[in-house]
Amino acid sequence: MTLARWLAAIWVSKVLIGFSHWARRGGSSFPGRVARRLCPQVLTRLARQLRWGGIVVSGTNGKTTTSLLLANMLAASGMKVVHNRTGANLTAGVTAAFVQACSWTGRLDADVAVLECDEAALAGVAREVRPLAGVVTNFFRDQLDRYGELEAMVTKVGSGLAEVSHQGFVVLNADDPAVAGLAQQLAARPVFYGLDDPACAGVGAGEVSDARRCRACGGRLQYKVFYFAHLGLYYCPHCGAERPRPGITVTRRESLGPGGSRLEFAAPSGGLGASLALPGLYNAYNALAAVACALTMGVAADTVAWALANSASSFGRMEPVVVGGRTVILALIKNPAGCNEVLRTILEGTGDRYLLIAINDLTADGTDVSWLWDVEFEELADMAHRLPLVVASGRRGEDMAVRLKYAGLSPAAIVVENRLGDAVQLALEQVPEGGTLHVLPTYTAMLELRRILNDRGYGRRFWEV
């Protein structure tokens, strides 16, 4: 009976995965759900076969990019890696990744699993997988209507990380007070990473008060340096708590514009330098998180550097597609901190910028669009002379248009077109030959855009990325 259920779970699920690929619909959680229904222990039994163990990657922003970079580094070091690479980061998606990787008899020939986990799903995944390592990127205000409050989310992630074996380690962002505070409740050893380059200092969080409270005493944190949002060199003037000293750091970041950056890392095992083909300071943080985890696992520095330099952009994050002699760059936006960084990256340099911002309010996007008012769209207004036209689209395109108007853009420079296909067409008509259209979609708008571009014969199918 047990064997029958086990095989049935794997066979049915594998067939469904194959079917969803054939139907050109990636990222479905359905096969994983079916497998779990047929055999509730399927994930535990598959994960147990990993020769090294599992790594869970979580946090509000950058977990897809971080886990992709980490998976590439581990693969480059010769390990066989299981990875839920389509961004299916709930328990069902993680299960599907394992089912896909195992044989028809349920045998898994793999060393390590790099598992991107949604913050709410982490605890459940960790209980079943019993990970040997964890990585946490940051906690920005993100889709709080799903979780209630940021505090509750941090607590949830903390309880998930408590499942990481005491023989293992958890890689934490020292520059984010809420992430660094997780070190208190771990059985595993904390490994801190952080930025150590004063040239990266930014403007800070403004009035957005995400996580700038002292974890120990509740007082308001002071910052010696802000890198971005609430990430930086903080200390508490009330109780003396401060940012832990990170063992693995970025000591120098040189921006290469929208093309990426050159990074220098310092670690106890020695330094390394690498170019990263992903733009923005936020991606430097993602790379740093992956580097910290790989180095702690003993991967050689030159292997890590090679993998960084050769990692294509993770699905949908600043991924270029060429359409009729024009480049379309998709950059996922989902919360203020991430969106601010995307805007900053797009506006780097000179010349006109063509923008399409697509806001949906489905469950996967977050049904509350009020976060748009915490984004510094005022920075666009400062550059209004470089923005011939901004197209606002998606189910809440009107909300976006109002936000842009109140940011200071002229209503004459804003066009609302709710239908994404028409919006892309309209925006592309404005872009000169050889020019670039920057598209900033929320999650479901990104999936829809990708489908539209695929149907018109452009772009890659996303399970191939």
Q: How far is the CB of 314 from another protein (least distance, A)?
A: 28
234 strand-pairing partners: 223
Size of the site for another protein (CB under 8 A): 36
Q: Does 144 bind another protein (CB under 8 A)?
A: yes
Cα 247 from Cα 290, distance rounded (Å): 14
Least distance from another protein to the Cβ atom of residue 392, Å: 9
Please state, in angstroms and rounded to a whole number, the distance separating the CA atoms of residues 110 and 126.
18
289 lies in the binding site for another protein (CB under 8 A)? no
Q: Which is nearer to another protein, 150 or 267 (CB)?
A: 150
79's tokens: 């390990």
Using alpha carbons, list the distances in angstroms from residue 277 to 201, 301, 313: 21, 18, 7
Q: Between 248 and 357, name the residue whose CB sits nearer to another protein.
A: 357
Task: Provide the b/e sequence for 96-130 (b: ≥16 CB within 10 Å).
Answer: bbbbbbbeeebebebbbbbbbbbbbbbbbbbebbb
Q: What is the DSSP string of 106-170?
A: S----SEEEEE--TTTHHHHHHHH--SEEEE-------HHHHS-HHHHHHHHHHHHTTS-TTSEE
Distance in angstroms (rounded) separating the CA atoms of residues 440 and 335: 12
Shortest distance, position 216 Cβ to another protein, whole Å: 13
Q: Binder to another protein among 272, 372, 423, 428 (CB under 8 A)?
A: 372
Nearest approach, Cβ of residue 178 and another protein (Å): 11
- Close Cβ partners of 461 (under 8 Å, ≥ 6 residues apart): 24, 26, 454
Q: Which is nearer to another protein, 150 or 191 (CB)?
A: 150
Q: Please state the closest distance from residue 445 (CB atom) to another protein, in A.
A: 15
User: Which span sits near another protein by CB under 8 A: 21-29, 108-116, 241-249, 365-373?
Assistant: 365-373
Answer yes or no whether residue 151 interacts with another protein by CB under 8 A.
yes
* Minimum distance, C-beta of residue 316 to another protein, in the bound complex (Å): 24
CB 334 within 8 A of CB 368: no
| Phi, psi angles (nearest 5°) of residue 201 | -55, 135
298 binds another protein (CB under 8 A): no
Q: Which of 277, 402, 413, 465 binds another protein (CB under 8 A)?
A: 402
Structure tokens at 283: 């991606």
Shortest Cβ 341–another protein spacing (Å): 18
Q: Tell me how crowded residue 445 is: count the other CB atoms within 10 A of its CB.
A: 29
Residue 149 or 455: the one with the smaller Cβ distance to another protein is 149
Closest to another protein by CB, 252 vs 405, is 405
Burial of 323 (0-12, 13-18, 19+ CB in 10 A): middle
Least distance in angstroms from the C-beta of 33 to another protein: 24
Under the criterion CB under 8 A, does residue 236 sit at the interface with another protein? no
Q: Is 412 in the site for another protein (CB under 8 A)?
A: no
Closer residue to another protein in complex, CB, 51/220: 220
Amino acid in the structure at residue 243: R
57/415 with CB nearer another protein: 415
Cβ contact 76:308 at 8 Å: no
Q: Which is nearer to another protein, 264 or 378 (CB)?
A: 378
Binding of residue 464 to another protein (CB under 8 A): no
Query: CB of residue 460 vs another protein: minimum separation in angstroms?
Result: 33
**Dist CA 427 CA 391 (whole Å):** 7
Residue 207 as a binder of another protein (CB under 8 A): the answer is yes
Contacts of 78 (CB under 8 A, 6+ apart): none
The yes or no reply on residue 334 touching another protein (CB under 8 A) is no
Residues that bind another protein (CB under 8 A): 144-145, 148-151, 207-209, 212-213, 218, 220, 361, 367-374, 395-399, 401-403, 405-407, 411, 414, 416
